[in-house]
Amino acid sequence: MSKTKYDRQLRIWGEVGQAALEEASICLLNCGPTGSEALKNLVLGGVGSITIVDGSKVELGDLGNNFMVDERSVGQSKAKSTCAFLQELNDSVKAKFVEESPDTLIMTSPSFFSQFTLVIATQLVEDSMVKLDRICREADVKVVFVRSYGLVGLVRVSVQEHTIIDSKPDHFLDDLRLNNPWPELNSFVETIDLNVSDHVAHKHIPYVVILVKMADEWTKSHSGNLPSTREEKKEFKDFVKSKMISMDEDNYKEAIEAAFKVFAPRGISSEIQQICNDSCAEPSSSSSDFWVMVAALKEFVSNEGDGEAPLEGSIPDMTSSTEHYINLQKIFLAKAEADFLVMEKRVKNILKRIDRDPSSISKPTIKSFCKNARKLKVCRYRTVEDEFSNPSVTEIQKCLADEDYSGAMGFYVLLRAVDRFTANYNKFPGQFDGGMDEDISRLKTTALSLLADLGCNGSVLPDDLINEMCRFGASELHVVAAFVGGIASQEVIKLVTKQFVRCWGLTSSMALITSLSY
Amino acid sequence: MADLDVPQSKTRDLDKLLLRAGNLVGPDFYPGAELRDDIRDYVRVLVVGAGGLGCELLKDLALSGFRNLDVIDMDRIEVTNLNRQFLFRLEDVGKPKAEVAAKRVMERVSGVEIVPHFSRIEDKELDFYNDFNIIALGLDSIEARRYINGVACGFLEYDEDDTPRRETIKPMVDGGTEGFKGHARVIVPGVTPLKFPLCTLAETPRNAAHCIEYAHLIKWHEVHGGKSFDPDEPEHMKWVYDEAIKRAELFGIPGVTYSLTQGVVKNIIPAIASTNAIISAACALETLKIVSGCSKTLANYLTYNGGEGLHTKVTEFVRDQDCLVCGPGILIELDTSITLQKFIDMLEEHPKLLLSKASVKHGKDSLYMQAPPVLEEMHRPNLSKPLYDLMGRVQKDTVHVFGTALKNEEKQSSLTKLRVVFKGADGVTDMDTAIGA
């Protein structure tokens, strides 16, 4: 039954991803709407276990923004009410709660956090964030910080290193090697005559064959080089077009459209090169499976691969006779299999060298690695402490001055400013209806001093933004909480399943800010 | 840190947005308790769809100060809904979605009134839709979107300059999700899906999906003649699966599984809770902003692509002046003697319409209805009467026609607005053609 229940999500992250989710234990700090909405999505998805930490009692005002509590729960433990509701959503999930303030746990029982796969830390102020981050880094526990403040949301992932094999990018070029065909592909292509007289056969020759043949002809008459200049590329396309005998030949139209694949540079991308050159790619006894396989990849590329990664193995759909297509598929699969076997051998050898059991990395894992070798991703996040003490000054200044980003960046600065404000005045600016003008001017001063600390003395924060921040008055609106909680839960899923691209570039220094105030 | 002087408000957080003045707000924002109370007491929102998005929308709207909600959905709850449609439990399987969703939200959020409608959207009178201030869409079909789009745009009235009158504009907020991706937008027409060309299926299949669609679209009709394929009938699905396997084996094509068969035939869209949550929240927030002006609204379109990191892109989407649905309407010139039957026949031939089996409505009056049978019989006498008479003998006016249109080789339900102008209807009789002068 559970298989049917999860059908719609299995189609996204597969059984392997689902298994990873079901093994994960998640801790939630603070179960206001932000935290509970994030957790709700994970419970529905079948996460292994959840532990809610919150010491507060349900207030009347909570009834206006929190779906997990109702009139009967007013005065009771918020953690208890939330836990009960979430348990109802999915009885396969083990749900617990701890009636304690997260700050107290952070201060007095740091070891509490070691038992979890991941902590979702919501609505924490700066100081608490820094402390929790330190604790979790030490214990190798992943953290996702989430904040919802008026119409502003923030999501900040903090993980030492997150490696992804099955990154499943939305758009990625197929691995056809039109610019670098291997012997078996060439042999197959040679068996097909482009100038076949039968019209039906002529228009059912797959474009892969057409382009490999034409590229070969071209290089023979151009000292072994593929088209590189704009004129040459146009000439090549015209050359392909000249082989069309009628306007309805879809295979030739596809060939012309796919011609750019012939011009693409050979070999591995700079991103994969970077990963191969990473210091972690030097295998040692403490290397993770990922890095052992990267070490094998590095060897492969320099040897059997001749500059290329293992062949991915699949081919896209294309106009073709069934026979040609199936044969082409077989050739691609055969090479992918051959490359995999070489990689498997290399992985085993490396494992032996570092005194590990050579069969400790499974065949399916290595196969998946080979298939995804061109799409690997490594994400390293700096600590929150580092972000605060070594701000990316140029990035901040640039964004504050840019029309498109100044709003979001302005709110990032203000979010930190309100935390400082609270440390000084024991309340958030605009939290209460009285004294708004005073709060606005105080917040402005605080923000300016923060900007100075960030090294951005010249930058300006528009007054409208400061006013708006005070207007928000630390409110936690349900829709904003649901929005940012939704985003956070997706990030958790990606971190736990180790699928899908999770970050922007190799290092991520800042949080994601969404401002729903356009 | 509670402020002890002020009694606690249930809408503690929302109050900050609605009761306080601000500078980054909409042009017609009048903050105050009255605004909050007016939204609560008077604004009516219709949520179309009680599935993944609908459930989230109802919760989000109920917790954003809206108290008068309606929800319409024709489906019953299935097990595969439970991974994200959080208002439903295992014991609810088989019950109407709209009814269970309404009940659950009303149980948890006291004071909210949600009227469920277990019906198809086409079965509601146009007036039903006119009673709402905003329509929020949580749909999974392009057809349904197109229909509602047609309905809302049908309420538009134009002034002399052919610009729509503001009070007749019915804002719609539309959300859609698939896997990690989604969009939220404010009044925009839909997009058409891709289909496989039939010749690939028949002659040169290359992958598992081709084999499945061959069995589903071609072989089924060859073997089962007039019997229509029912994707919810397990025997039908098994038949397609078996045939697909046979064909795949014949061509040496791997990959046909029962799961894939279901996916291809039912056009199953992968779905998860988090994306629905994100998009619904964005839609609900836009609804609140449109109604209150408490902050600036989306300049039409927000796209979310969670798989690649995260990008919210707010894009301006310009209205197509020639839009058949929301423009001033296609001009049709008619003779005063044309009967309603002739008019309906003409619609089928009209190159821009190609509308068959049309029902016709003039303002609040139905002139003719193809269905249900009892209404068809009632309106049948109108068919032989001149349209000019049925429309009250005005020189020109708007009518709405609803039927099946053929667009891009696809049949779709279509609701279109027409501007009918009668020639020779200015009172002067043409003496030359008058009979028996």
ipTM of the complex: 0.87
The rounded distance, in Å, linking the Cα atoms of A378 and B403 is 55
Quote the tokens at residue A470.
């005070």
Kind plus residue range of the DSSP H or E element containing A508: strand A507-508
Assess whether pLDDT exceeds 60 at residue B222: yes
For the sheet containing A49-53, what is the strand order?
Answer: A94-98, A49-53, A25-29, A118-122, A142-149, A152-158, A512-515
For residue B213, the chain A residues in CB contact (below 8 A) are none
For residue A504, the chain B residues in CB contact (below 8 A) are 309
Nearest to A12 among B56, B205, B272 (CB): B272
DSSP 8-class letter at A231: H
According to DSSP, the residues that pair with B412 across neighbouring strands are: B405
CA distances from B77 to A93, B41, B51, B86, B99 (A): 22, 31, 9, 11, 10
The rounded distance, in Å, linking the Cα atoms of B25 and A142 is 38
CA distances from A133 to A9, B23, B329 (A): 31, 36, 61
Q: Which of A152, A262, A266, A256 is nearest to A216 (CA)?
A: A262
Assess whether pLDDT exceeds 90 at residue B30: no
According to DSSP, the residues that pair with A250 across neighbouring strands are: none
User: What pLDDT is stored for residue A122 in this prediction?
Assistant: 97
B307 touches chain A (CB under 8 A): yes
Assess whether pLDDT exceeds 70 at residue B265: yes
Percent of chain B surpassing pLDDT 90: 30
Q: How many CB atoms lie within 10 A of CB A74?
A: 16
Nearest to A7 among B22, B63, B80 (CB): B80
Q: CA of B298, closest CA in chain A: separation in Å?
A: 7
The rounded distance, in Å, linking the Cα atoms of B203 and B198 is 9
B298 touches chain A (CB under 8 A): yes
Q: CA of B265, closest CA in chain A: separation in Å?
A: 15
Nearest to B82 among A5, A151, A480 (CB): A5
Most confident range, picked from A81-85, B145-149, B316-320: A81-85
A68 contacts A482 by C-beta, under 8 angstroms: no
Using 50, 70 and 90 to split pLDDT, how confident is the model at B180? confident
Q: CA of B126, closest CA in chain A: separation in Å?
A: 30
Q: Which residue does chain B place closest to A422, by CA atoms? A: B1
3-state secondary structure chain B: CCCCCCCCCCCHHHHHHHCCCCCCCCCCCCCCHHHHHHHHHHCEEEEECCCHHHHHHHHHHHCCCCCEEEEECCCECCHHHCCCCCCCCHHHCCCEHHHHHHHHHHHHCCCCEEEEECCCHHHCCHHHHHCCCEEEEECCCHHHHHHHHHHHHHCCCECCCCCECHHHCCCEEEEEEECCEEEEEECCCCCCCCCCCHHHHHCCCCCHHHHHHHHHHHHHHHHHCCCCCCCCCHHHHHHHHHHHHHHHHHHCCCCCCHHHHHHHHHCCCCCCHHHHHHHHHHHHHHHHHHHHCCCCCCCCEEEEEHHHCCCEEEECCCCCCCCCCCCCCEEEEEECCCEHHHHHHHHHHCCCCCEEEEEEEECCEEEECCCCHHHHHHHHHHHHCEHHHHCCCCCEEEEEEEEEEEECCEEEEEEEEEEEEEECCCCCCCCCCCCCC
Q: Which residue does chain A place closest to B16, by CA atoms? A: A472
CB pairs under 8 A between A and B: 229
Q: Which residues contact A216 (CB under 8 A, 6 or more apart)?
A: A181, A186, A189
The rounded distance, in Å, linking the Cα atoms of B138 and B81 is 14
Say whether B86 and A317 touch across the interface (CB within 8 A): no
CA distances from A385 to A134, A389, A443, A502, A510 (A): 8, 6, 23, 21, 12
**HSE of A70, CA atoms in CB hemisphere, 13 A:** 14
In a mutational test of the A interface, the residue from B5, B13, B283 whose CB has the highest number of chain A CBs within 10 Å is: B13
Nearest to B204 among A4, A6, A320 (CB): A320
Using 50, 70 and 90 to split pLDDT, how confident is the model at B188? very low
CA diameter of chain A: 89
The rounded distance, in Å, linking the Cα atoms of A97 and A95 is 7
In a mutational test of the B interface, the residue from A479, A504, A514, A515 whose CB has the highest number of chain B CBs within 10 Å is: A479
**Concatenated DSSP letters for A102-167?**
HHHHHHH-GGGGGG-SEEEEES--HHHHHHHHHHHHHTT-EEEEEEEETTEEEEEEE-S-EEESB-
Say whether A478 and B179 touch across the interface (CB within 8 A): no
Using 50, 70 and 90 to split pLDDT, how confident is the model at B197? very low
Say whether A61 and B9 touch across the interface (CB within 8 A): yes
User: What pLDDT is stored for residue A3 in this prediction?
Assistant: 65
The residue to which tokens 């052992």 are assigned: A292
User: What pLDDT is stored for residue B217 in this prediction?
Assistant: 75
User: What pLDDT is stored for residue A297 in this prediction?
Assistant: 98
Nearest to B63 among A11, A475, A478 (CB): A478
The rounded distance, in Å, linking the Cα atoms of B40 and B59 is 15
Percentages (nearest 5) of helix, strand, coil residues in chain A: 55, 10, 35
Say whether B306 and A59 touch across the interface (CB within 8 A): no
Determine if the pTM surpasses 0.90: no
The rounded distance, in Å, linking the Cα atoms of B24 and A258 is 48
Say whether A63 and B110 touch across the interface (CB within 8 A): yes
Q: CA of A298, closest CA in chain B: separation in Å?
A: 26
Nearest to A61 among B12, B110, B310 (CB): B12
According to DSSP, the residues that pair with A92 across neighbouring strands are: none
The residue to which tokens 């032989």 are assigned: B384
The rounded distance, in Å, linking the Cα atoms of A270 and A260 is 19
Q: Based on the residue annotation, tell me whether B211 is a catalytic residue of this protein.
A: no
User: What pLDDT is stored for residue A371 in this prediction?
Assistant: 96
Quote the tokens at residue A410.
């302005």
pLDDT in tens, B343-354: 999 988 887 778
Assess whether pLDDT exceeds 70 at residue B256: yes
Average pLDDT score over residue span B215-238: 81
The rounded distance, in Å, linking the Cα atoms of B114 and B98 is 10
| B121 phi, psi to nearest 5 deg | -65, -30
Average pLDDT score over residue span B281-304: 79
B108 touches chain A (CB under 8 A): yes
Least confident of A474-478, B84-88, B273-277: B273-277
Say whether B63 and A66 touch across the interface (CB within 8 A): yes
CA diameter of chain B: 94
Q: CA of B338, closest CA in chain A: separation in Å?
A: 46
Q: CA of A116, closest CA in chain B: separation in Å?
A: 21
Q: Which residues contact B310 (CB under 8 A, 6 or more apart)?
A: A487, A512, B304
Q: Which of B298, B259, B258 is nearest to B281 (CA)?
A: B298
Of B55, B199, B211, B326, which residue is the catalytic one? B199
Nearest to B20 among A471, A489, A502 (CB): A471
User: What pLDDT is stored for residue B300 in this prediction?
Assistant: 59
Using 50, 70 and 90 to split pLDDT, how confident is the model at B428? very low
Say whether A479 and B288 touch across the interface (CB within 8 A): yes
For residue B11, the chain A residues in CB contact (below 8 A) are 61, 64
CA distances from A22 to A43, A358, A494, B89 (A): 10, 28, 13, 20
Q: Which residue does chain A place closest to B180, by CA atoms? A: A490
The rounded distance, in Å, linking the Cα atoms of A271 and B59 is 43
A26 contacts A49 by C-beta, under 8 angstroms: yes
Using 50, 70 and 90 to split pLDDT, how confident is the model at B105? very high
Say whether B24 and A517 touch across the interface (CB within 8 A): yes
The per-residue b/e assignment along A1-39, b for 16 or more CB within 10 angstroms, e otherwise, is eeeebbbbbbbbbeeebbebbbebbbbbbbbbbbbbbbb
Q: How many CB atoms lie within 10 A of CB A149?
A: 23
Going residue by residue through chain A, which has 518 residues, state the pLDDT in tens, using 9 for 90 and above. 456 889 889 888 989 999 999 999 999 999 999 999 999 999 999 999 999 999 999 999 999 999 999 999 999 999 999 999 999 999 999 999 999 999 999 999 999 999 999 999 999 999 999 999 999 999 999 999 999 999 999 999 999 999 999 998 877 889 999 999 999 999 999 999 999 989 999 999 999 999 999 999 999 999 999 999 999 999 999 999 999 999 889 999 999 999 999 999 999 999 999 999 999 999 999 999 999 999 999 999 999 999 999 999 999 999 999 999 999 999 999 999 999 999 999 999 999 999 999 999 999 999 999 999 999 999 889 999 998 988 888 888 888 888 777 888 899 899 999 999 999 999 999 999 989 999 999 999 999 999 999 888 878 899 999 999 999 999 999 999 999 999 999 999 999 999 987 544 323 345 677 777 66
Using 50, 70 and 90 to split pLDDT, how confident is the model at B322? very low
Say whether A170 and B308 touch across the interface (CB within 8 A): yes
